[in-house]
Amino acid sequence: MKTPKRKLRKKSPAAKINPLSEKVIQRIAVRVLKDIRRSSAPSAGAPPSAARTRLPQREVKYIHLHEAANVQQKKVMAVSFLSDPSAWRLEQAIVDNLRLLAREADVYKPYHDLSSLAQQLEPDLVLILADRQPIPADCLDELSRLSVKKAIWLSDSLEAYSDASSLKPIFQVVFTQQMARISGYLRAGCEQVHHLPFSADRAIYYPTPRRESYVCDLLLVGEPDAACAEAIRTLRSERGLTVWGLGEHGDYADRSIEACADAQTPADYYNGAGMVVNFSHVSRQAFEIAACGSFQLLPSQSGVLDYLTPGQEVVTFRSAGDLSEKVAYYLDQVEQVRMISSKALWGSTYRYSFLQIAAKLLHVVFQT
């Protein structure tokens, strides 16, 4: 079906999808998530379903999938340079959802001859997945000779790509995990840089009953500054709160806060926490907390607020004093906490799942 062109909002580097377009993709998203549940969810019992309340429309210009360029005939060749042994889950999630939107999508490792592979597949887009390690020069040389659209999606949550200047002559579009990285890649000469975090792995992050050994009143994710740490210690003392810390590398720097004993299972801690205060700069972590249906507070300058709606899916704070007031307030507001966390869970299913994120990627590549 032929679809008309639509205008791209240029104000923000993060593309938005109009809630009206949910009707186009909702059935696909539900089917995919049900398949994931059947194949990967623990046998102890199915996780609760997302709340069905429709979020109010926000006053911004959105991307309508039904008005987007016809990507159904596009072919995507993804090449992964990700070095983490667990990266196969991410690679599979990306390519599985691209297949729902494009004609063909497959992921390959760089030991293939990229030139021959591209000649054989005739892709419309070569999508590179990479972390901070520089792509080998011979691979960059092969990529530079390909006369198709090329984009790179960086797994740069903790560290920026180490050789950003090498990206400029090769890739038309760079996707980054952090809003704060955009200026650095632009200074390196990259022409188009967009904030596009990886979504939560819904086979791992979903609501479960609270397990006793993971229950706490307040879970800190990432490291607070000195003022916020002091505010939390005061709250703990005055209100008798159980406060645990979950660091980015399994430990926790603030020794006055008890570190989570089993940092390899963050989903259990997200589900067990009364509320989560998320100081992490990793956007995907905020998506993972939302996918567990957990209530979270974020600093007001967090880049992930391009996707999570303040006051509806998360609560934001501007300072240590503001954080202290809001934690104290929401400790006594059970219904509001439930409503906000339910909307975040709803959003993780219908607005920033891998299906919607993949749609945004294709939109940016083929419409800008």
The residue ranking higher by pLDDT, 306 or 323, is 323
**CA 298 distance to own-chain centroid:** 15
As a whole number, mean pLDDT of residues 159-178 equals 94
pLDDT of residue 41: 43
CB proximity list for 175: less than 8 A, separation 6 or greater: 151, 152, 153, 154, 193, 194, 195, 196, 361, 364
Mean pLDDT calculated for residue range 120-130: 97
How far is 95 from 117, CA to CA, in rounded Å?
A: 17
Is residue 29 very low, low, confident or very high in pLDDT (cuts 50, 70, 90)?
A: low
- For the chain, give the number of residues: 368
> Top-level CATH class of 19-47+54-199+353-367?
alpha beta
- Residue ranges, CATH 3.40.50.2300, the chain: 19-47+54-199+353-367
Helices (H), the chain: 22-40, 87-101, 114-121, 137-144, 182-187, 226-239, 266-272, 283-291, 320-330, 334-350, 354-367
Q: 314 near 298, Cβ under 8 Å?
A: yes
Task: Compute the distance between CA of residue 228 and CA of residue 121 in angstroms, rounded to an integer.
Answer: 53
Of 204, 183, 203, nearest to 303 by C-alpha is 183
Q: What angle do CA 290, 296, 297 make, to 5 degrees?
A: 140
When the pLDDT of each residue in the chain is averaged and rounded to a whole number, the result is: 84
> What is the rounded average pLDDT of the residues 167-186?
95
Q: Which CATH class is domain 212-350?
A: alpha beta
